[in-house]
A = this chain, B = another copy of it.
Amino acid sequence: QALPVLHSVKKDPTLSIIVVGASGDLAKKKIFPALFALFYEDFLTENFTIFGYARTKLSDEELRNMISATLTCRVDQRENCADKMDQFLQRCFYHSGQYNSEDDFSKLDCKLKEKEAGRLPNRLFYLSIPPNIFVDVVRCVSHRASSESGWTRVIVEKPFGRDSDSSRELTRSFKQYLTEEQIFRIDHYLGKELVENLSVLRFSNLVFEPLWSRNYIRNVQLIFSEDFGTEGRGGYFDNYGIIRDIMQNHLLQILALFAMETPVSLDAEDIRNEKVKVLRSMRPLQLQDVVVGQYKGHSNGGKSYQGYTDDPTVPKNSLTPTFAAAALFIDNARWDGVPFLMKAGKALHTKRAEIRVQFRHVPGNLYKRIIGSDSDKATNELVLRVQPDEAIFLKINNKVPGLGMRLDRSDLNLFYSARYRGEIPDAYERLLLDAIEGERRLFIRSDELDAAWALFTPLLKALEEKKVAPELYPYGSRGPVGAHYLAAKHNVRWGDISGEYS
């Protein structure tokens, strides 16, 4: 039997990862494959065990079959893949139980202890379950399945409430059972390669920092688009809408990383401190800062696509936005007056996530004659394409080779796929590894979450109270035209929708 050892680490710790909600989609598609990838790349400790937990009754073998259906190997090391899979699956076990039953968690605890075999036990619970049962599980874990001498950490997935009040209430409940250090709120966008790279680019390169302010940046655009709709699975989405689903978390998190001041170190708390500062410097959104849209059915090339409210899982009269564009402002010395435009939508013409930084025009008029009257057309632009095909572009004016003086915009570019061989790891791999290692940098702290909701809650309330009707746009289109008017109001031109831009 393990003796409780406070504040120390045994030579030979064990790691138990408990996927609560193991039979769900996310678990199958993302969590188990990510765990396998970590195992495959030798990032897991020798003594690790994976437990699936759910209400469904399954044998260990059934779980293993389910998992193995989605496992694939890293492109670059296929040789011993089958062996590795086998080894991995042998570490996977299943425990069936109710989500609110302390007894069931006690039984789980017994099984865990058995695997831990007296070594220092560390336990990571991944809550892949609906938010209404978050607190029950956390209570059970805390009371019955916590590690006695090692650490216990809990990963939770969004949604973290629907607004300031519900989010604060959820946090309050968590804190009854967990300390801040134990809570790992995951935003998988923060695990994307280029988002990780954002701080590296800014802070390890001298050439970017001097440009990173209102003096040189005219606007920043955060763009997320999907080329498919809810497709018969709109139940959850309709309850939240695109603003809660994408903007308030993914895009806002990226904005905070983009705009924050230099942290005092790369430690999680220092970075999160700076993120909170940026969020607190922002103005809460008003109705006039936003345009909302909803896709309607559309036929194209003989194929027809259903509108949002045609989805049987969506109420016929739903006003839930599937598209939103918003203008945000940061009232601090660095960003005063620079519009940060966000745009997120489903069922658009393209699948893409990117950050576009548009620089100001060159003062003076040396090249005005050559460039033409619209000086904003020929400005520099930095594009960080998060997906697909990670890349960085810096658009610059360049002389077209040849006699005469003709300028055009060329790209200084870096394509990840051309530069770096090998597959880029999935966001979940990075985040799971971070949680295992106690690296909290990419997880959202309670005060961050609070500050984020503070920005969006007044807007969400207003949209819902006033029953604001979204502007309809055809499935597969470039979204509602209102987004252009919103941009124009702030003297911005969307960088992603333009003949001239790539």
Q: Interface of A with B (CB < 8 Å)? A: 38, 41, 43, 193, 196-197, 200-201, 203-207, 209-211, 214-216, 261-266, 270, 273, 277, 280-281, 331-337, 359-367, 370-371, 378-380, 382, 390, 392-394, 396-403, 405, 407, 410-414, 416, 419-420, 422, 424-425, 429-430, 433
A281 to B207, CA, bound (A): 23
Task: Please give, as numbers and ranges, the residues of chain B lying within 8 Å of A209 by CB-CB distance.
Answer: 333, 362
Given known pairs A210-B210, A332-B264, the reply for A401 and B424 (CB within 8 Å) is yes
Contacting residue for A201 out of B333, B398, B403, CB 8 A? B398
How many copies of the polypeptide does the oligomer hold?
4
Contacting residue for A414 out of B203, B378, B403, B412, CB 8 A? B412
Which of the listed residues A265, A379, A393 has the most CB atoms from chain B within 10 Å of its own CB? A265
Contacting residue for A413 out of B261, B281, B400, B412, CB 8 A? B412
Given A264-B277, A401-B425, A403-B429, output 9 extra A-B contacts at Cβ < 8 Å: A206-B360, A207-B216, A207-B394, A210-B216, A331-B365, A332-B365, A401-B424, A403-B430, A412-B412
Closest to A273 in B: B273
Task: Please give, as numbers and ranges, the residues of chain B lying within 8 Å of A410 by CB-CB distance.
Answer: 414, 419
Closest to A382 in B: B207
The 16 listed contacts between A and B (C-beta, < 8 Å) are A38-B403, A197-B398, A204-B378, A205-B380, A206-B216, A206-B380, A207-B216, A210-B211, A263-B366, A264-B280, A264-B281, A331-B365, A332-B364, A334-B364, A392-B412, A402-B422
Contacting residue for A420 out of B393, B396, B401, B412, CB 8 A? B401
Q: Are B43 and A265 closer than 8 Å at their CB atoms?
A: no
